[in-house]
Amino acid sequence: MSPDEATNPVFGGKRVFGGVQGSGGSRVATDGRRLAVSRALGTAAWVLLIGGPLLFLAIFFAWPVLSIIGRGLVTDGSLDLSGFAEVFSRPRTWRIIGLTLGQAAIGTVLSVLLGVPGAYVLYRCTFPGRRLIRALVTVPFVLPTVVVGVAFRSLLVQGAPLGFLHLDGTLAAIVAALVFFNYSVVVRAVGGMWAHLDERAVDAARALGAPPWRAFTAVTLPALTPAIASAAAVVFLYCAAAFGIVLVLGGPRFGTIETEIYVQTTQYLDLRSAAVLSITQLVVITIALRVAAVARGRRERALGFARESEGSHPLRRGDVPAAVVTAVVVLGLLLAPMLALAVRSLRTPTGWGLENYANLAGTGTGNALAVPVWEALANSLRIAVDATVIAVGVGAAVSVVLSRRPRRAAARGALATLDHVFMLPLGVSAVTVGFGFLITLNRPPLDLRSSAVLIPIAQAVVAVPLVIRTVLPVLRAIDQRQREAAAVLGASPGRVFVAVDAPVLGRSLGLAVGFAFAISLGEFGATSFLARPERPTLPVVIYRLIGHPGAENLGMAMAASVILAVATAGVMALAERLRVGSAGEL
């Protein structure tokens, strides 16, 4: 080989570098193949992250719901909208809609008015026991709605501590229970925002002579508006879709769209009316979801520009009014019903004792139940484990996708649409979902009527939006520059996710698991359709005991409610302890 041939970059069709033929070309080819494989795997991973949850939602949410609506609106294979005119011509329908919107509006206003002072006291002031009270405030939100209804009845019925007020079975009782349930939503959302506000602007206003109320309305309140609006929209959504609370406390006098769907479906088998009401409810809740999404986006942008606060301060003389309001709410509205429930569970026909708890090993007076309560609790725990695995898996995958920040406007719009789609289960009656399961998942290839996964899947559908709302804000808080720096250093998309996103995702899953498990334990709407008498869940058992006359059955319902409340609160307390870092606000 001549010197010219040796230095020629191409010799005999082969590349020559440093006297070694083909080695550089092999490396280039190998690197190219690795890059192609990496890109293919990355594409497959994103397709799985997006396609899997969408397929889950399509099969176990869209299909059942659309089937119910179709059965009510399609006659002899053609669209028939006469059901709308028929349903909306009834005075009962307008009364139901008015009650739904009225109680939701009142519950939302009261929750905000009481929650804002609580957010200030619990997130901007320091005092002994603050963390304990924060945890206590969170418990009502995750309590089963049936338990909340039973707790308020134990406080308001004749002979109870507040029986003299004659509020049992009134709209006031329902609204109080709704505020009890949603108070923590306002406290967490507004308090999380308040904790990031820079107080120097308030101090400047005070130095210029503004009184405290003026500094609050002119400086603090405008900064908190996105968080307040977001919390109010979410509270309105939960109030409008309340089921167990209204069913237990309202009775036949105070129905809502949610309970009316249940009545029309189970008692009258009127699918046409149920379909029309489902569509009506979907429209109302979709509007609330849209408002919540806009407000949440403004809140997240405000948090992104917010300066970290200099820390909380000890309670001051000017904080006394807010502290008094918070103390009254915590003691009078949150603790009193639960204490009344616990005390009532210890009252027996022969005096005080644990007889009601001992009776849980039986089936109640007149064989009100098909199985003992303890067996129902075991069923609930097994189902909750399965539902949590499904909900967290689907919710975490969706959160990873939604946390991306694409540069193209079309891609950002697609992600926003995907976010709205996975929030839809919050806006559809759980009763509709449960009944839809019965009429769609009853034949091959998805005949799940006798399958053990039927109820866990239904409960997972309900829990997925809460998992997303818990995990997504944490992933969105990751600095995009960390991902970009890892990519510049040569990391593949999968390696970037493992190095940057996965650790943060793992830290946020503790609370998501707790919420999913607690929601599953207390889910009643869909489960009331799907649970068989021989395999009931604990909320279904409690409702059946309430519906059967007899002091023993009522006492058993109280005892079972206490056990379910303790189990739910214990799960959330454990999730809070296992959580590292901060998770998203609901």
If one counts every other C-beta atom within 10 angstroms of the C-beta of residue 93, the result is 18
Q: Indicate if 57 and 120 belong to the same structural domain.
A: no
Residue 38 lies in a domain: no
d(CA 145, CA 583): 24
Q: What is the pLDDT of residue 183?
A: 95
pLDDT at 444: 80
Instruction: Output the pLDDT for position 330.
Output: 92
Average pLDDT over residues 76-84: 81
Q: Give the residue from 341, 369, 387 where a domain finishes.
A: 341
Alpha helices in 424-550 (DSSP H): 430-440, 454-476, 480-488, 493-496, 502-522, 527-530, 538-547
Residue 113: per-residue pLDDT: 95
Q: Supply the pLDDT for residue 276.
A: 87
- Reported confidence tier of residue 311, pLDDT bands at 50, 70, 90: low
> Do 177 and 306 belong to one domain?
yes
Given 275, 308, 341, the domain boundary residue is 341
Task: Give me the CATH number covering residue 491.
Answer: 1.10.3720.10
ω before 456 within 30° of 0 (cis)? Answer: no
The predicted pLDDT at position 39 comes to 63
444/324 same-domain check: no
Same domain, 56 and 103: no
Cα gap 482→199, rounded to integer Å: 30
Is 28 inside a domain boundary?
Answer: no
> 3-state class of 17 per DSSP?
strand
Give the total number of structural domains in the chain.
Answer: 2
519 and 461 in a common domain: yes
Q: Are residues 94 and 179 in the same domain?
A: yes
Is 434 part of a structural domain of the chain?
yes
Closest CA to 430 of 241, 238, 178, 150: 241
Shared-domain flag, residues 543 and 419? yes
DSSP state of 217: I
* Per-residue model confidence (pLDDT) at position 515: 85
Residue 314, beta-bridge partner list: 126
Helix, strand, or coil (residue 579): coil
User: What domain range includes position 546?
Assistant: 44-77+353-586
- 328 and 360 both lie in a single domain: no
Residue 34 lies in a domain: no
Tell me what percent of the residues of the chain surpass a pLDDT of 70: 86
pLDDT for 59: 93
Token pair listed for 159? 């002979």
Domain membership flag for residue 19: no
The model's confidence at residue 345, banded by pLDDT at 50, 70 and 90, is very high
- Is 477 a domain residue? yes
155-173 pLDDT tens trace = 888 888 888 888 888 899 9
Per-residue confidence at 551, pLDDT binned at 50, 70, 90? confident
The amino acid at 110: L
Residue 20 has pLDDT above 50, yes or no: no
**End position of a domain, from candidates 341, 362, 395:** 341
Token digits of residue 508? 């946020």
Residues 521, 552, single domain; the answer is yes
Across residues 498-517, what is the average pLDDT? 81
Residue 119's H or E segment, with its range, is: helix 91-124
Note whether 63 and 107 are same-domain residues. Answer: no
Query: Cα 373 to chain center, whole Å?
Result: 27
C-alpha span between 516 and 522 (Å, rounded): 10
314 within some domain: yes
521-543 confidence digits (pLDDT tens): 988 888 888 888 888 999 999 98
Tens-digit pLDDT profile for residues 359-411: 999 998 888 888 999 999 999 999 999 999 999 999 999 988 888 777 788 88
Residue 393 lies in a domain: yes
Here the tokens at position 187 are 């406290």
Same structural domain for residues 426 and 562?
yes
pTM metric for this prediction = 0.80
Residue 298: per-residue pLDDT: 67
Is there a single domain that holds both residue 262 and residue 365? no
